[in-house]
Amino acid sequence: MFPLGLLTTSVGFDVLYLITERDSFAFTAAHLVAAGVLMGVVTAATGWLDWFLVTPRGTRARRIGLLHGLVNAVVLVLFAVSWTLRLAETDWTPTWPALVAAWLGVLAGGLGGWLGGELVERLGISVDEGAHPDASSSLAPSRS
């Protein structure tokens, strides 16, 4: 969730920049995009491993997981484009193409986030098999 949070927050700082024209908001947005994309690449690597090694083949979860990964890859590409366009500006001021790429990225991120929630909350992927409302703490010694 951190990459999506960083990327979504960057769009908020873009809006603040458009309202106030304060360069510090543009600077912050650009750096949030960079952090979100870098963290997103790491998150994507672990997600693909989870999909490939853990998610059972031939299941709805496998299909949703693939779509989730592909949508989030598009999100990363859109924000990487936005960051590259910002990098070309000396004061990090976002151009309209950079803003449009980020806004499309945040819309796609909403879909990707919903698909991720579907995987965990509805399909139970990457949820501990012993999870329930009265489960013991994960820090408690295991009872074998």
140 found inside a domain: no
134 found inside a domain: no
Give the model's pLDDT for residue 143.
62
Between residues 57 and 134, the one the model is more confident about: 57
Confidence class for position 102, pLDDT limits 50, 70, 90: very high
Domain tally for the chain? 1
86 found inside a domain: yes
- Contacts of residue 41, defined as CB under 8 A and 6 or more positions apart, other chains included, come to 76
How many Å apart are CA 8 and CA 100, to the nearest integer?
13
Domain containing residue 42: 2-122
Distance linking the first and last C-alpha atoms of the chain = 33
Give the residue-averaged pLDDT of 95-120: 96
Average pLDDT, the chain: 93
139 found inside a domain: no
pTM of the model: 0.88
65 found inside a domain: yes
Q: Which residue type occupies 82?
A: S
53 found inside a domain: yes
Q: What is the pLDDT of residues 54-84, one digit of tens each?
A: 899 999 999 999 999 999 999 999 999 999 9
Please determine, for residue 45, whether its predicted confidence score (pLDDT) is greater than 70. yes
Give the model's pLDDT for residue 144.
53
8 found inside a domain: yes
Range in 24-28, 81-85, 106-110, 124-128 the model is least confident about: 124-128
Residue with tokens 């927050």: 9
32 found inside a domain: yes
Please determine, for residue 37, whether its predicted confidence score (pLDDT) is greater than 60. yes
